[in-house]
Structure 1
Amino acid sequence: VYDDQASPKEAAPLAVKLTTQDGVTAGISGSYSGSTRAAATIFQENAIPYISAYAVHPDITRAGDYVFRTSFMGEVQGRAGAKLIGDLMGLKRVAMITLNNDFGKSLASGFKEKAAEFGIEITGESEYSIKDREFGPIVAKVKSDNPDAIYASGYFFTAGPLVRQIRAAGISAPVIGQEGYDSQKFIEIAGPDAEGVIITTSLDRDSTNPITQAFIRGFEEKAGYPTDMVAASAHTAVLVMAEALKKAGASDGAALRSAIAETSVDASTGHISFNALGEVKKDVQVQVVKDGAWRHYAVISDPVLLAPPEE
């Protein structure tokens, strides 16, 4: 286990070390898109299977046929966000707040791709940096736009302050986020203003799936705090790899790659299978903050809308 510090400059030499010195059979990325993209190319060049647990950039799996992803591409989750707001919630005038990195841009791209299809008018889009914690000008613009809903990308450490400032400005429109919010830390940072925030994500806390419930209980017993999308996605990636290793063994990289490609397994984030590009095919979970915890809101199960690219 190595820490790439969420930096491509750190990830690339670590990937070289893993593939050429440590003699690993396979790799799993529990990091963001930039680092995962940097490492994916190196694993592909060495014909060693590599699974991205939750990084969203579309080019990750395009590194080659030894690279897979067990969570959604950003564009897929963005499309689900458009359906959630325009169809399930019936809200039409939407202000966008976009984190200016791979994560935010890919989510925004998917959302805008399908917005019109679900009758959504985008009132405006504001961007911010991952270092930002003060959002006065953005909040002022959103308030002047007076939208029905706000589609705001970010991580828990940016989304928490953002939501607090939105509510402090007297804006009551629903805030719809994504898996980057999916942490108890978001609820702690946003405080009472977290109530009612809705997100698209991979983990349903109220799932009746025994595997999901066993994971949620086991994680909380061991860690001492509630689980989140990151932990569930990493758990899913490890489970997929473990099942493939059972079938193919560790001695033949090509056989292991084929076993991963043929995956059909139930995991903590749902049923996992892959398309020809190594992209996951599964439902999008929708969660809402209720009484200080993430709870089930809806499931988006639309194989056409959620279909990742094949090449």
Structure 2
Amino acid sequence: MKLLLLNLIFLSGSAAAVELNADGILNSLIDEFVSCVNDSAGPIHQAAMRLFWLLVPINLVISGIRCVFNGDFSDFFFSLVTSVLFTGIFYYLLSHDYAIGKSIIDSFVTMVDDDYMGPSELIDLVFNIDRQINNLMTSNVLGLVSKLQIVICMIVFSVVMFFVILRFVSIYLTAQILCVIGVFVLGFGGLKATRYLAVNYLKLLISKGLELITVLIITKTGCRILNDVIDATKLYEEGLSVLKHSECMVMIFISLFIFVLSKSLPPVMSSLMSGTSGGFETGLGLSLKKYRFLISRNSGK
């Protein structure tokens, strides 16, 4: 995913859409990638619909044959009810194409993105800090720190922060691809034996949403920290302080701190969904079985 993002910059066919400058580069890359993914939404949706309506009658025939061999008419009735119910649920999801998946992802993003501080703002702050440090180098406001130390510090700081930003972009674009390509998996909801695949798709969407909201909170925290760094560099420009070796190490530590959090916390939040089992299908199926048992017992009396 990260290599694909870097390769997008050098695509000759996208030269008009992606500009090689610091301003707006992240939003430009994301918009270009999402636009390419959305071009495949129509054919995938049609293929999912064909698969769904191919599996629905197969599911009804299999359920009917099983109930005939069991010789239980009530069992056939409940199998028919559950089949119609789940067919309606998954048809509703399929009929809305990828809109439901995108609404799930967007709801997670907008949940904490209320003060417009995100990855795009974070990369702008990284570039601003780099510009200010370069201004300090030209102004010779260095204290006991050599220019080589500053250059190494800024390279390490910028690269680590870029990995944090690419972490968010990777999760976000993965979620966007899931919304479009994952619609095909919803077609397996027409057959009971493969319905778990469609349920896993919905669980994975929520899981990616939890990862997104976690990384977004981390990037917002990083924006606040880097704003403090920018305020500190202004003091150096005004001659109220000089840049020291320990402060260069602090910048590297800040970048590593944010990077480690962005690497370790999202999988933990994602595991909240992967740790669940059964899903709504199992729960609803157990409820219907319990209801069928009560009716059978009462009829026996």
| TM-score between the two structures when normalised by the length of structure 2 | 0.29
Larger Rg: 2
The answer to which structure has the higher helix fraction is 2
The answer to which structure has the higher strand fraction is 1
Higher RCO (Cα < 8 Å, 6 or more apart) = 2
